Amino acid sequence: MAELPFATDAIAPRLLAWYSKQGRALPWRQTRDPYRIWLSEIMLQQTTVAAVIGYYQRFLENFPSVEHLAAAPQEAVIDLWAGLGYYARARNLHAAAKMLVEEFGGEFPQTVTELQQLPGVGRSTAGAISALAFERHAPILDGNVRRILCRLFALQQPPRSSAAEKQLWHWAELLTPVADVHDYTQAIMDLGATVCLPRKPLCEDCPLSELCQAREFGLEQQLPLKQKSKPVPIRHEAALLLEKQGKYLVRRRPASGLLGGLWEFPTVSIADGEMAEQKVRLLMSDFAVSGDLRPLGNITHIYSHFRLELQLFQLSIDDFPQVAEAENDWCAAEELSQLALHGAHKKALEKLQGSGE
């Protein structure tokens, strides 16, 4: 491991003094309840504070304890999560709540090792829960902390490489104090969120600027090094917006897998060389309906690992000759607006409403 360019104990006092004056007032900072801290940490994974606050408050209103969350149907959890993205987090949250109740008697474990047994809880999230709820010496390495350490030590390696990962955890461990670990953890997260920004860091406002190696060498704009981007795969699908007496047929996706538990209009995949309208007509035959399809245009939506190109077709019928399966439902337009549709199908609804239907 590389030598430290400054004393190990030089960081925490500066951060703590800054945090006492500049720390953010956030809803989950008024408690040491591990349930509330865990909930906030899961929600904050790859999501901004501004987006999380409303969801956090609504979740607590509906599920005020881990027991309430464990007892809820998974569908209710996913519906409440709708719009926050990365839906595996909601499924893991529910699974972890059940595990906490069934295997831990509703009590949160306190160590990083034990917390990592919970679905959806990795090393950094476990460290945050352990430090914030139980004041244990547990380092974290979320995106904000990773960026701070890359600049602080002028690490000139891609920050997600295996060598960088090992080095960053080593530094995080060394810099995390034994005392005041709760406030230190909040402080270093706040520093990354408000000062050590991805673009145009506010170095003049940083309590660590005198020690920052990136600033000393004029590398604060170049670090962290960017990862090499991979080509984004493209998926092609077509959706049938089937209308009967002012209501549209929608179905819930399987609970596991991509976008699990969310709602969508009936959809088919389109392979290379296939015609979207022909595939949609096959879907119509599955429902035993016929009629003139009306093209409504295309939707493009970016998910975390792929881009979806979705073609839309609308069909109005007078009667539905077969009983819809249990996961299907008929909803009026105003009901669809309240439904947990996933991103591309929210755009499909907007296009449908804009078409005057």
Which among 209, 219, 251 has a CA at the least distance from the CA of 342? 251
Q: Chain centroid to CA 128: how far?
A: 17
**Which tokens is 80 given?**
């409440």
Concatenated DSSP letters of 46-113: TS-HHHHHHHHHHHHHH--SHHHHHHS-HHHHHHHHTTS--THHHHHHHHHHHHHHHHHTTPPP-SHH
Helix (H, G, I), strand (E, B) or coil at 269: strand
Exactly one of 41, 220, 243, 264 is catalytic; name it: 41
Helix (H, G, I), strand (E, B) or coil at 265: coil
**Which tokens is 1 given?**
């491991």
Would you give the DSSP letter of residue 341?
B
**Which tokens is 131 given?**
């430090």
| 41 is a catalytic site residue | yes
| DSSP bridge partners of 197 | none
Helix (H, G, I), strand (E, B) or coil at 307: strand
* Cα within 13 Å of Cα(315), Cβ side: 23
The Cα 188–Cα 149 span in angstroms is 10
The backbone torsions φ and ψ at residue 331, rounded to the nearest 5 degrees and listed phi first, read -135, 140
Strands (E), 232-306: 234-244, 247-252, 263-264, 267-269, 294-302
The Cα 217–Cα 154 span in angstroms is 8
Contact 203, 219 (CB under 8 A): no
Kindly list the catalytic residues: 41
